[in-house]
A and B are shown apart, each in its own frame.
Chain A
Amino acid sequence: MSEGIIFDIREFCIHDGPGIRTTVFLKGCPLRCKWCHNPEGMSAEPQMINSAGSRRIVGEKYQASEVADRLNSQADILCANEGGVTFSGGEPLMQSRFVKDIIDLLDKKLHIVLDTSGCGTHSDFQMLAARVDMVYFDLKLIDRQAHVKYTGVDNDPILCNLRALSEFEKPFVIRIPLVPTVTDTDENLSAIAKTVRGLPGLVRVDLLPYNKAAGGKYASAGMVFDPGYDESAQLNLNIDCFKKEQVEVRVA
């Protein structure tokens, strides 16, 4: 039985999938998005957070069975409310074995969402995607160089996993964090629209407007927030790019 590091198990995360859900936040992410508002999710290790005068360790070791037991104890309630469980992060693919073990122990009636940046090996991605009912797939930038510049990694494996996902015909939602002047350009949005249009399984695209409080948590995690873009620039909420490609789009 595997164990892993989790930085939060939060109930009533209603924006993380259908119905009432509990979200498991797995610690560790291979990306370093400049706008990340969960900086405590980046490092794979437990770390000290200092906020408002109190110190606490973020990131705790759990056995897969412990997590499954806790989720299963609420399975009836989650199911009665059209919901279930979401695995998010950080990046769940970084602890794919652990996540797989949890899922295998979960009450079969629970609806499961994998919320991923898509950044992981093909086999890890396949292993988890096959086990969940729905995938929330974050797409940031189509341009490879820009992707490297703003997230620290190449987007090749991500796009590759996206294609694999559509071959599965697993329902999925594309989520785009709208970051002013970075991801919200017409160019990027229409490139994303063209990439996803017509993919089997695509439910819709969610645009997530920029959260100005993004930088708030960095100092308490002992990190520096250095966005490298103008946070206060007017957001380009261009949904026409998607309408043109007949992709269903929502602003969350």
Chain B
Amino acid sequence: MNELLIEKKHSVREREHKRFRQQAPPDVLAECERENSSGMRRAALLIKRQCEAESVVIEPGERIVFTRTIPCIPRIYADMDPVCLINNICADWQMALSQGLLGRREAAADARERYKDNPQASEFLDCAIESIDAVLALAARYAQAAEQMGRHDIAQMLRNVPANAPRSFHEALQSLKFMHSALWLAGHYHVGLGRFDQYMWTYLEADLKSGVLTESDAEDLLAEFFISLNKDTDVYYGVQRGDNGQSIMLGGVKRDGSDAVNPLTRMVLRVVRDVGMIDPKINLRINADTDLDLLCLATELTSKGLGFPQYANDDVVIPSLVAHGYDLEDARDYSVAACWEFIIPGKGMEIVNYETMRFPKIVDQAIRNGLAAGDTFDGILNRVKVGIDEAARRYADCYSKRQLPPAPFYSVLMDDCIENGRDLSSGVKYNNVGIHGACSASAADALAAVKKHVFDQHDIDPADLLAALDADYDGFEDIKQKLQNDSPKVGNNDDAADSMLTTLFDYFADACEKLGDHDGKWIMRPGTGSAMFYLYMADEVGATAEGRKKGEYFSANLAPAPNIRVHGPISVLQTYSKIDYKRVCNGGPITMELSDAVFRDQDSVRKVAMLVRTFAQLGCQQLQLNTLNYEKLMDAKAHPERHRDLIVRVWGWSGYFCELAPEYQEHVINRYKYAL
């Protein structure tokens, strides 16, 4: 990175751009209420007023512009927060870039003519056109200001994009920056960036061929673009700062099944490593035959400790999506939503984290009620099955009643919404609902411990176990010891525990499949992630039969339970290769922490890369590898001022350690204590 970029990164880290922030957002709600506007009109008015209220910021030396000055999203419904707006999906950036907003406007005008007798479609298309005009007007103001400042380069670019197709890689980045920022401005969040190396390569390839750009010029532009993605994240909505879903998916295969890795794939990996910030979050699609060189490059990024890349295995994900009703070509085009949920850019209006299957809670109730009723172990398992079925049905019922608020500008950037005269909120090609499958290892461990001690060895009496659970193990130290230290655990490639894990996911998949496809409209997709539920549930569920006391955290995503020692990463991968991923396609990674001591050898990068390849070869689905130094974390907790730039992976995202809430810090530290 050149000096200018280093300075820019520093300035973004110091949030110097905050000086441009306005005091308050425009008051849009009053206007909406006055006119008693429809939801559609409100959404269009929101983006219009937001674009008008933005003031132009072009900083010296900046080559990709747009800085947010409005501090938050104004309300447009009296009774609903703007953060309920459509989020966590990915636009068809390839289409949007290549057509430009004027191209989209033409398509909308065409459709407006075709649907002129359909009032609903007409209103939608009018609003889509208004929102396009609002964004273009903002771009025009930027162009004009640039001209006045003597920044003819910027002016020239913004006269062309985002209105038209980019004429260069630089323009493509600027166009993307503008449209992407406009979505945030319109109140959408977790705005994904999709298969960046695919849709951007055309532009870069042309520039490299014609000699407009050298590789190093391109890297500088890319670095600036990535730094700019970190700029406004403090005003982006998320559970914690850093949780903003600016995810990129690299590699994989093209829609025709051929290898999609190109020079930009590698360039992104290199540049992100050098930039070293929390955005964008990098994902890499691989398969059993992926080149070790590419994995080594990705591992160098892992060794930086940014918490990415996260890997997805095409060999498993694509067939799984096909089994869930996705066309093969679309399945090959998958990306991820904010964290790990598989979605198809431009074609998915999926609510990927609608609800959470709370495995530990369901299992705990089944164990307590089953023991009290004198059940056999199969009886307890049956209660688990019923509990999962009931929860899935409840979620499905709720989901059927849900209504999404209209999103005319997002619709412009998706496939066929404009063409069909239908807003994104009324559905696109895929409209499925995703349910996390949270804390599975802890729940499976509880079942395995009960089976061993109560039913197989008979060395814990059911009544004693119930009493121990009720007492939070106070006075039942010996029972707790047995359950915790002398029971099979998920993560050791031990079938006694792993079979409980696979049973949970089988029940979960059964429950979702039983719900059917709702007249071809949507299915429920089971997943393996936990998001923040390993924390949320800690106090919600009392003592559990794996020897955990109330308040202690559960296992996160696909990872062994906290506080247990496992043999190591190979066993963990072997354990998780047993899940039938064809039936669980909502995503949720195997999560592993590596101590940074792993990287002290010259060939360690290659060996970690081989571990990643093993993950793919064993047929696992998704992998998140994190590197950190335990002592450094402890020091950061004590002296945050010394470690302002320390980055950690939280769940599906990376954040600055010192900016996390204490409970998240604690959990991260605890995870790293058991690093491999």
Contacts and interface: CB of A to CB of B under 8 A. Distances in A.
B209 interface: no
Nearest to A54: B563
Interface string A42-54: 0000000000000
A22 B570 contact: yes
Given A12-B568, A14-B598, A74 B574 contact: yes
A90 B603 CA distance: 25
B604 interface: yes
A16 to B, nearest CB: 10
B299 to A, nearest CB: 12
Interface stretch (A77-85, A100-108, A141-149): A77-85
B26 interface: no
Contacts of A78: 570
A81 B600 contact: no
Contact of A19 (B485, B568, B570, B610): B610
Given A73-B493, A77-B614, A11 B570 contact: yes
A19 B610 CA distance: 8
A107 to B, nearest CB: 15
Contact of B676 (A12, A73, A250): A12
Contacts of B567: 9-11
Contacts of B617: 80
Contacts of A19: 607, 610
Contacts of A77: 570, 574, 614, 618
Nearest to B607: A14
Interface residues of B, number: 23
A252 interface: yes
Interface size class of A (residues with CB under 8 A): 20 to 34
B569 A81 contact: no
Contacts of B95: none
Contact of B569 (A12, A15, A73, A80): A12
B601 interface: yes
A77 B574 CA distance: 10
A14 B604 contact: yes
A12 B600 contact: no
Interface string A233-252: 00000000000000000101
Interface string B93-123: 0000000000000000000000000000000
A14 B601 contact: yes
Greatest chain B CB density within 10 A among A9, A15, A19, A56 is at: A15
A22 B485 CA distance: 23
Greatest chain A CB density within 10 A among B567, B574, B602, B676 is at: B567
B610 A20 contact: yes
Contact of B601 (A15, A74, A80): A15
B570 A15 contact: no
Interface string A194-211: 000000000000000000
15 contacts: A9-B567, A10-B567, A11-B570, A14-B607, A15-B600, A19-B607, A20-B607, A22-B568, A74-B574, A77-B570, A77-B614, A77-B618, A78-B570, A81-B607, A252-B600
Interface of A: 9-12, 14-15, 19-20, 22, 56, 73-74, 77-78, 80-83, 250, 252
Given A14-B604, A82-B610, A83-B607, 11 more contacts: A12-B570, A12-B676, A14-B608, A15-B604, A22-B568, A73-B493, A77-B570, A78-B570, A81-B611, A81-B613, A252-B600
